[in-house]
Amino acid sequence: MQKKEMREVEVEYCDGCGNEAKNFSMCAVCKRHFCLAGGGAKHSAFSVEIFRYEDRSRLGAPVSLVCRDCGGQKFDGTIKELFDGMMGEAPVAIKK
């Protein structure tokens, strides 16, 4: 016997391709969520892991990604400012 159900389900969509997905990775720079199509390679330029010794905090679990859009942008600041921004909750200010 077949049974049909109508259920309310929360669905998330990729900020890159717009496809529905179950698993996402967040860009460490712009904080947008991307699907892991192609093992993450479809939307990612870099895979990074950053550990800050000063407070023992780690970016990524175990890795975080930088999307292709952000990977090609210029950053007008120090490496410390970039890494601190990547570990923060707000997007990093980069040049367009």
Q: pLDDT, tens digit, for every residue of 25-73? A: 899 999 999 998 888 889 999 988 888 898 888 876 656 899 999 999 9
Instruction: Give 9's pLDDT tier (boundaries 50, 70, 90).
Output: confident
Cα(80)–Cα(18) distance, rounded to whole angstroms?
33
Would you list the domain boundaries of the chain? 12-87
The whole-number pLDDT of residue 63 equals 65
Q: What does pTM read for this prediction?
A: 0.79
Structural tokens at position 92 = 């990093």
